[in-house]
Structure 1
Amino acid sequence: MADLKRQLGLLDSTMINVGTMIASAIFLVPSAIAQQLHASSLTILVWVVGGVVSLLGALSVSELGAAMPKSGGQYAYLTEAYSPVWGYLFGWTSGVVINPASIAAIAVAFATYLAFFVPLGMWGIKLIAVASIVALTVLNCVGVKPGTLTQNVLTLLKIGLVALLIVVGFALPGGRRENFQPVWPAVGVGSLIGPFGVAMVAALWAYDGWIEVCYVGGEVKDPGRNLPRAIILSTVIVIALFCLVTASYTYVLSPARMAQSSLVASDAAQVTLGRAGAAVVAATILVSTLGANNGIVLTAARVPYAMARGGVLPAWLGGVHPRFLTPTPSLVVQAAISIALTVWGTYDQLFTYVIFAQFLFYAMACGAVVRLRAKAPDLPRPYRTWGYPVTPLVFIAFATWLVGNTIAEQPGDSAVGVALILAGLPLYWWRRSAASALPAVQGD
Structure 2
Amino acid sequence: SLALLSAAGVALLGVLWAYEGWQNVTNSAGEARDPQRTFARGIGLGTAALVAIYLTANAGYVAALGAAGVAATDRVAADVVRTLFGSDAARVVTLVILVSIFSAANGLALTGPRMYFAMARDGVFFRSLADVHPRFGTPALAVAVSALWAMLLAVSGTFEQLFTYVVFASWIFAALAAASVFVLRRRRPDAPRPFRVPGYPVTPALFIAAAAAIVGNTIVARPAQALIGLGIVATGVPAYFTWTWHRRRRRE
The verdict on a shared fold, with TM-score over 0.5 as the criterion, is yes
2:168 is matched with 356
Residues 255-275 of structure 1: CA deviation (Å, up to 9, x unaligned): 122222232111111122111
2:117 is matched with 305
Deviation at 1:386, TM superposition (A): 1.7
2:22 corresponds to 1:217: no
2:91 is matched with 279
- Paired letter, 2:72: Q
1:38 is matched with none
The two structures have a TM-score, normalised by structure 1, of 0.53
2:215 is matched with 403
Q: Percent identity?
A: 40
Distance 1:197 1:338 in 2: 26
Which of 101, 105, 112 is residue 289 of structure 1 equivalent to?
A: 101
Distance 2:229 2:13 in 1: 18
- Indicate how the Cα distance of structure 1 residues 255 and 419 shifts in structure 2: closer, same or farther if over 3 A, else same: closer
CA RMSD of aligned residues (A): 2.1
Which of 121, 134, 156 is residue 346 of structure 1 equivalent to?
A: 156
1:418 is matched with 230
2:65 is matched with 253
SS at match of 1:216: helix
Contact 2:65 2:80 in 1 (8 A): yes
Question: How many matched pairs?
Answer: 250
Which of 323, 337, 360 is residue 149 of structure 2 equivalent to?
A: 337
Residues 299-358 of structure 1: CA deviation (Å, up to 9, x unaligned): 10000000000001121110011221101110112222333444xx21545664554211
Distance 1:193 1:426 in 2: 36
SS at match of 1:202: helix
Distance 1:392 1:351 in 2: 24
1:52 is matched with none
- Indicate how the Cα distance of structure 1 residues 439 and 392 shifts in structure 2: closer, same or farther if over 3 A, else same: closer
Distance 1:241 1:350 in 2: 25
2:186 corresponds to 1:374: yes
The two structures have a TM-score, normalised by structure 2, of 0.90
Contact 2:120 2:126 in 1 (8 A): yes
Residues 353-385 of structure 1: CA deviation (Å, up to 9, x unaligned): 554211000111111222222222222223312
SS at match of 2:135: coil
The ranges of structure 1 where at least 4 consecutive aligned residues each deviate by more than 6 angstroms after the TM superposition are none
Q: Which has the larger radius of gyration?
A: 1
> For structure 2, which runs of at least 5 residues remain unmatched after alignment?
none
Deviation at 1:216, TM superposition (A): 0.5
SS at match of 1:346: coil
2:52 is matched with 240
SS at match of 1:254: helix
Contact 1:354 1:418 in 2 (8 A): no
- Indicate how the Cα distance of structure 1 residues 228 and 355 shifts in structure 2: closer, same or farther if over 3 A, else same: closer
Which gives a bigger RCO, structure 1 or 2 (Cα 8 Å, sep 6+)? 1
Distance 2:148 2:47 in 1: 31
